[in-house]
Structure 1
């Protein structure tokens, strides 16, 4: 099965290592970074969501009008709109982009961040709401006839979309999380289940959990698995590790300059969300796992989001990613610390290796299947 690559779309060049050099909201930079992904073999880009950030669906529409082939993954929090309105927004974007839209639903793992936009539900309540929300959105996309809904969180009658997604295309539903509630909801509803990059044995455990919960929900085919990493790549192994330690130093310097924090959305100490807790537990067990997985960046950032690194030459990083592919990972998220240049380098030097080796695996499987039929 082909492998897909997810990058990041942003309106400025700030990262954990670098203060922004662009304007805080720079449409030109947004177009440049997405074009860098489109021109270098990436499948899609993510428009992330934060309570204080720009509205991602507007950014996706802006991008769809300017770039013709890159796919668009829109992050969305159910607390910010009614599901009928969201279904309409997503369908409109899918039409504007010619069927290039996917949606990543974010339940929210930080009570304080959720509260910034008036969301006071508990974590379990938020997951129950997300489950109901996704089902409504899916029904709105699929239904040519008006329908009613009377649920725990939403209540309406006689809703139908005049504008539905592009004919023959249903936007992919992406979902992530590492808590029990997340596995149950995402495994039941998502097309793609996202996990953060962990050691191979821990990733295998998460994949097995997703498959188990999907079967329990009555699904014959489980979600595809998406794993996220921070690539640190250089021409030689020695140079890659030198680069890695420079990056770690810059993270610590930036954290100190900002008073011991890197983001208003994520605490450095004692994160609430299960995914970050897992990353910090792994980092406490050691800095290096498997071939090139490095946890020091996760430790330095408090396990903030996608924060475990893969350090090495393009060949070493590609080999590590292929090990995840062999576990069942089909979508690889990668974001460097120099957002634009790293997107170009990863696209030029790592993605082609991974794609070539995946094609060889697929060809071997097809040959074996044909031989079995012939026998």
Structure 2
């Protein structure tokens, strides 16, 4: 099975420095010198498509542009790239969401993937009118996905659940293909939803031993329900021709983290209700700013999490070293990698022209266009 790689659309702004935000913290103003215009995001999307990424994740929250609207516009500037749209089921009727997904599939030629985000911060949820506690939000997510999947199956749905109620719900036109559902969460409530409803379980970039434990737990829960899931991981990447060059770039990013910014972001993230965020914070032990002490596993660097909520680790090293770490995660059961880097346009090329050809030579990755019969010489821009 060929590995699948997705890139990231920075709908909160991009920079040569790390742009923070997420999990209840606002996007940091420092370095947001590339606004998330359709023109710029279109550049990133086209680069990702040409280089061999299958899709691109767009985040959700008060700190970034709306993912549905943005990707609908950016999709018109690409041909093959899929869009992994993050959205929160508590903010949208399940019938409307199912209809929107069906429309998106028809208008883009089947290029929608859905990243369901239950929401880990009650204060941000309340700003949108959602006053459920965290465990109740996960139960509602389960009801939401049950309704949506039955609608996509062409059924007429009547459900009076704990949190959601629909009567005589049905779709006039079904999505083709049915969008795959991606989902992440480290709490027991999240694991239950994943095992019962989703196609791909996503984890943030924890060390391999911790990732292996998560995979085993979710896989066992899914098996009890007669289901099999795929697994993916969310990471940043800093890859260069040599390891020294990559660590020099990581150090440059670290030098851009002002002590007061780190302190403020860490204080905000410490209030997070997210179990996944708690696990991310534990990786860098409260805010150390020493470059190599933040290397928590060979080539796995926790420095990004000093100023950014959510995914806070990066693969740092030479192209061969980064390829080695990807194969290490793949051996655990990870088949999909959702990656990003600062700035997202240039880092897409560093990874696409440096790491992907090495993975292809090792026989674990094929360019999506090659699978569709496009000549290999046309697949990687600027490659000789």
TM-score if structure 1 supplies the norm length? 0.87
Aligned residues, how many? 348
The answer to whether structure 1 residue 2 and structure 2 residue 18 are counterparts is: no
In structure 1, what is the Cα distance between the partners aligned to 2:365 and 2:128? Answer: 48
Q: Structure 1 residues 259 and 355, CA, compared in 2 at 3 Å: closer, same or farther?
A: closer
Residues 60-106 of structure 1: per-residue CA shift (max 9 Å, x gap): 22122221101111111011111000000011001111111110100
In structure 2, what is the Cα distance between the partners aligned to 1:280 and 1:340? Answer: 27
SS of structure 2 residue aligned to 1:51: coil
In structure 1, what is the Cα distance between the partners aligned to 2:65 and 2:303? Answer: 30
The answer to whether the 8 Å contact 1:129/1:153 transfers is yes
Of 48, 54, 58, which residue of structure 2 is paired with 1:37?
48
Q: Which residue of structure 2 aligns with residue 326 of structure 1?
A: 331
Q: Where do residues 117-266 of structure 1 align in structure 2 (5 Å cutoff)?
A: 117-143=128-154, 145-166=155-176, 169-219=177-227, 221=228, 223-250=229-256, 252-253=257-258, 256=260, 260-261=263-264
Q: Which residue of structure 2 aligns with residue 352 of structure 1?
A: 357
SS of structure 2 residue aligned to 1:102: strand
Residues 30-55 of structure 1: per-residue CA shift (max 9 Å, x gap): 11111111111111001211125322
In structure 1, what is the Cα distance between the partners aligned to 2:192 and 2:362? Answer: 33
The answer to whether the 8 Å contact 1:293/1:309 transfers is yes
In structure 1, what is the Cα distance between the partners aligned to 2:211 and 2:262? Answer: 33
Between the two structures, name the one with larger relative contact order (CA 8 Å, sep ≥ 6): 2
Q: Which residue of structure 1 aligns with residue 344 of structure 2?
A: 339
The answer to whether structure 1 residue 70 and structure 2 residue 81 are counterparts is: yes
Q: Which residue of structure 2 aligns with residue 373 of structure 1?
A: none
SS of structure 2 residue aligned to 1:95: helix
Q: Which residue of structure 2 aligns with residue 370 of structure 1?
A: none
In structure 1, what is the Cα distance between the partners aligned to 2:7 and 2:166? Answer: 37
Q: Where do residues 98-117 of structure 1 align in structure 2 (5 Å cutoff)?
A: 98-117=109-128
Which structure 1 segments of 5+ residues have no match?
362-375
SS of structure 2 residue aligned to 1:359: coil
Q: Which piece of structure 1 moves more, 43-52 or 283-292?
A: 283-292
The answer to whether the 8 Å contact 1:2/1:355 transfers is no
Q: Which residue of structure 2 aligns with residue 296 of structure 1?
A: 303
Residue 360 of structure 1 deviates from its aligned partner by 8.5
Q: Which residue of structure 1 aligns with residue 37 of structure 2?
A: 26
The answer to whether the 8 Å contact 1:173/1:192 transfers is yes
Q: Structure 1 residues 289 and 52, CA, compared in 2 at 3 Å: closer, same or farther?
A: closer
In structure 2, what is the Cα distance between the partners aligned to 1:126 and 1:48? Answer: 19
The answer to whether the 8 Å contact 2:231/2:334 transfers is yes
Residues 285-326 of structure 1: per-residue CA shift (max 9 Å, x gap): 96324321122332x236x21111111111111111110011
In structure 1, what is the Cα distance between the partners aligned to 2:244 and 2:53? Answer: 27
Residue 279 of structure 1 deviates from its aligned partner by 1.8
In structure 1, what is the Cα distance between the partners aligned to 2:279 and 2:359? Answer: 27
Q: Which residue of structure 1 aligns with residue 381 of structure 2?
A: none
Q: Structure 1 residues 63 and 80, CA, compared in 2 at 3 Å: closer, same or farther?
A: same
SS of structure 1 residue aligned to 2:270: coil
The answer to whether the 8 Å contact 1:194/1:226 transfers is yes
In structure 2, what is the Cα distance between the partners aligned to 1:287 and 1:54? Answer: 31
In structure 2, what is the Cα distance between the partners aligned to 1:163 and 1:103? Answer: 18
The answer to whether the 8 Å contact 1:236/1:313 transfers is yes
Residue 20 of structure 1 deviates from its aligned partner by 2.0
In structure 1, what is the Cα distance between the partners aligned to 2:363 and 2:214? Answer: 22
The answer to whether the 8 Å contact 2:86/2:116 transfers is yes
Q: Which residue of structure 2 aligns with residue 49 of structure 1?
A: 60
Q: Which residue of structure 2 aligns with residue 278 of structure 1?
A: 279
Which structure 2 segments of 5+ residues have no match?
20-29, 287-292, 367-384
The answer to whether the 8 Å contact 1:3/1:358 transfers is no
Residue 281 of structure 1 deviates from its aligned partner by 1.9
In structure 2, what is the Cα distance between the partners aligned to 1:357 and 1:177? Answer: 32
In structure 2, what is the Cα distance between the partners aligned to 1:129 and 1:358? Answer: 42
TM-align CA RMSD: 2.2
